[in-house]
Amino acid sequence: DSGSVTASPRQQDTEYLCPVQIGSPAQTLPLDFDTGSSDLWVFSTDTPRSEVNGQTVYDASSSSSAKRLSGATWKISYGDGSSSSGIVYLDTVTVGGLTVSRQAVEAAKQVSSSFSRDTSSSGLLGLAFSSINTVSPNQQKTFFDNAMPHLDAPLFTADLKHNADGRYNFGYIDKSAYTGSISYTPVDNSQGFWGFTATVDGTDVTGIADTGTTLIYLPDSIVTSYYSQVSGARYDSSNAGYIFPCGSSMPDFSFNVGGGGGGGGTVTVPGSYVNFAPTDQTGQTCFGGLQSDSSIGISIFGDIALKAAFVVFDGGNKQLGWAAK
Ligand SMILES: CN(C)c1ccc(C(=O)NN)cc1
């Protein structure tokens, strides 16, 4: 089997949403595919009206294939402080033509304000490792984990783009989607994430590949060194990050992956991607797409980095592949 689904950017590449079919007859919900978490959760008819703000909701009672997972609950919180929780159904889930029957679909009975405010997203589809799925008392598998044994190849790829539709493919590598060769590096999934080590300016950085996080968060030394090249750039505590004049031309930001015998490959994030967004309506000052990880405790290669590459999430061999495109 295989699948292929479009990933559409929302709000200046803040997140990428993909249409997912749930239930019988199919209910199509736009979900945020998230390689940094492992719960498939959705706004539902169980979500308080006061917390629903235009999102499409899942109605298990109108799906003939939905079965309540009796006694199961879930509760998740994300790095940005957002959270959600609820109950669990098993239902049929299809992504880009790839179907998993009896997928745990986690229906929200509560969502935090940032999810309520995110009117275009109906929830998340977790693509990290099932070891961090939050369903209790019986932990559930991710869509990818359930699909993997049926896939032509045990992997999925992420091809996110700046201000344009990209794609997630399951079960195969589309050779027309990248240039040059794919450089692979081992994955450390001990914390449930797609953990890997890259080299930035000769310094090893261990972080995670997280499609659900918008920006890049790296050690302070690397971030400070990058912005020292930009006149007028500074750390601004009121914005809790590095800002700079919007007219600045930003240096490219590169990192090396798979630096073994073959020398590995270099991913180059165009400077324009690092000029992420204005801090206010005046458009004078802009917020950087590269920020410090010091308040997080882990380095994150988020969408700013991922959209500069074609990325292979290889669950069979536990490795990450990176290619230019
Ligand atoms: C509030 N929203 C839409 C979020 C979506 C995703 C995440 C996240 O950390 N994913 N790895 C946080 C928040």
pLDDT tens digits for range 165-223: 999 999 999 999 999 999 999 999 999 999 999 999 999 999 999 999 999 999 999 99
The region of weakest confidence among 149-153, 230-234, 256-260 is: 256-260
Q: What does the alpha-carbon distance between residue 169 and residue 36 come to, in Å, rounded to a whole number?
A: 17
Token representation of residue 29: 């919900």
Burial class (CB in 10 A: 0-12, 13-18, 19+), 239: middle
Is there an atom of ligand 1 within 6 Å of 39 CB?
no
Dihedral, CA of residue 133, residue 157, residue 315 and residue 152, to nearest 10: 120
With a pLDDT cut of 70, the percent of the chain lying above it is 100
Chain centroid to Cα 80, Å, comes to 13
Q: What is the pLDDT of residues 34-47, one digit of tens each?
A: 999 999 999 999 99
- How many other CB atoms are found less than 10 A from the CB of residue 53? 14
pLDDT at 105 over 80: yes
Phi, psi of 283, deg, nearest 5: 70, 15
Residue 262, pLDDT score: 81
Counting from 1 in the atom list of ligand 1, the atom nearest the Cα of 79 is 9
Of 103, 152, 102, the C-alpha closest to 123 is 103
Q: 151 C-alpha vs ligand 1 centroid, how far in Å? A: 27
* Predicted confidence (pLDDT) per residue in 49-93, tens digit: 999 999 999 999 999 999 999 999 999 999 999 999 999 999 999
* Three-state SS at 202: coil
Considering only CA atoms, give the Rg of the chain: 20
Asked if 39 is an active-site residue, the reply is no
Nearest CA to ligand 1 atom 3: 115
| 210 a catalytic residue | yes
DSSP one-letter string for 76-144: EE-TTS-EEEEEEEEEEEEETTEEEEEEEEEEEEEE-HHHHH-TT--EEEE-S-GGG---BSS----HH
Alpha-carbon separation of residue 159 from 46, 65, 228 (angstroms): 33, 32, 31
Tell me what pLDDT residue 197 has: 98
d(CA 177, CA 311): 10
Cβ 138 vs Cβ 46: under 8 Å: no
Q: Supply the pLDDT for residue 263.
A: 86
Q: What is the pLDDT of residue 38?
A: 99
* Token pair belonging to 40: 């498939």
Please give the Cα distance from 300 to 217 (Å, whole number): 5
Provide the pLDDT confidence category of residue 260 given band limits of 50, 70 and 90.
confident
- CB 69 within 8 Å of CB 27: no
Alpha carbons 324 and 305: distance in angstroms, whole number = 11
215 within 8 A of 289, measured Cβ to Cβ: yes
- Nearest protein CA to atom 5 of ligand 1, as residue: 212
Q: What is the pLDDT of residue 261?
A: 76
Chain centroid to CA 70? 29
For ligand 1, atom 2, name the residue with the nearest CA: 115
Chain mean position to CA 142 = 14
Q: Which of 80, 118, 295, 301 to mutate to test the pocket of ligand 1 (most atoms within 8 A of CB)?
A: 80
DSSP-assigned letter for residue 193: S
Rounded to a whole number, what is the distance in angstroms from the first to the last CA of the chain?
25
Q: How far apart are CA 98 and CA 2, in angstroms?
A: 6
Backbone dihedral angles phi then psi of residue 41, each to the nearest 5 degrees: -125, 150
